[in-house]
Amino acid sequence: MAKRNHVTSVAERHDPKGRPYFWIEEGQNEWHPHDLSDYEVVRDGYVSVTPLHPDLTAHHALADVERLFVEKEAGVR
């Protein structure tokens, strides 16, 4: 996968009555070039297939969380 830096700017503006408000400008993507990235491959006219894994579970912490629930049910503090 490609790496990018997403830059968003916020502009202070004023409505017709002179009250300030903030406008979130369209973000700019700064891509970091890499010959084998999905971004570069698509720019070169090819198809990119990138396997992704959306599991954000902290598997190493599951036993601790389970223990908290067991202790709460048992009345342990």
- Give the model confidence (pLDDT) of 24-53 as tens digits: 987 777 777 777 788 888 888 999 887 778
Percent helix, strand, coil in the chain, to 5, is 30, 25, 45
- Residues 34 and 3 sit within 8 Å (Cβ to Cβ): yes
Tokens of 41: 């491959």
Residue 57, Cα to own-chain centre: how many angstroms?
15
Amino acid at 38: D
Query: DSSP label at 21?
Result: E
The tally of domains found in the chain comes to: 1
Query: Which residues form the domain of 31?
Result: 3-74
**Quick one: pLDDT at residue 26?**
77
**Quick one: pLDDT at residue 30?**
74
Q: Tokens 């990018």 identify what position?
A: 4
**Quick one: pLDDT at residue 35?**
77
Assess whether pLDDT exceeds 90 at residue 17. Answer: yes
Of residues 5 and 67, which shows the higher confidence score? 67
Provide mean pLDDT across the span 6-21. Answer: 91
